[in-house]
Amino acid sequence: MTDKNIKNIYKMSDDAIIHTIGEFVRHHRLQQNITQKDLADRAGINRTTLSDMELGRRCQLVTLIQVLRILNKLHVFESFEVTQQISPIKLAEMEMKKRQKASGQSGDSTAKKSDW
């Protein structure tokens, strides 16, 4: 990628973000010494589609995923993972509700008794 720093991505237009993604793809393709044709063939897309992507033109998300998979850069999507977190208060409440001791057997006389 270029030395350009993304200072505030929230202030960037959609097209500017797409252009940055294209620069990312191009940078890593060149860094791995892969031609556009080779990358496109391995990703299962048309070379012109890859060229358009690198030029900052819009593409489908699945196309981006295919390209990033070949470049071994799918880790950029790790921040999309949703993990459930329990608040400390809820965790403390759950700990207090844990069974502290066994209650023994219930007085249910209909339960079958062992022949032992």
Q: Measuring CA to CA, which residue among 27, 68, 28, 24 is closest to residue 45?
A: 68
Give the domain range for residue 68.
Answer: 9-77
Instruction: Give the CATH number, domain containing residue 20.
Output: 1.10.260.40
Q: Does residue 110 belong to any structural domain of this protein?
A: no
CB 88 within 8 A of CB 59: no
Segment 53-92, tens digit of pLDDT: 999 999 999 999 999 999 999 999 998 888 878 888 888 8
Torsion angle of C-alpha atoms 13, 17, 19, 24, degrees rounded to 10: 160
What is the tally of structural domains in the chain? 1
CB 21 within 8 A of CB 2: no
The answer, as to whether pTM is greater than 0.95, is no
Q: Does residue 26 belong to any structural domain of this protein?
A: yes
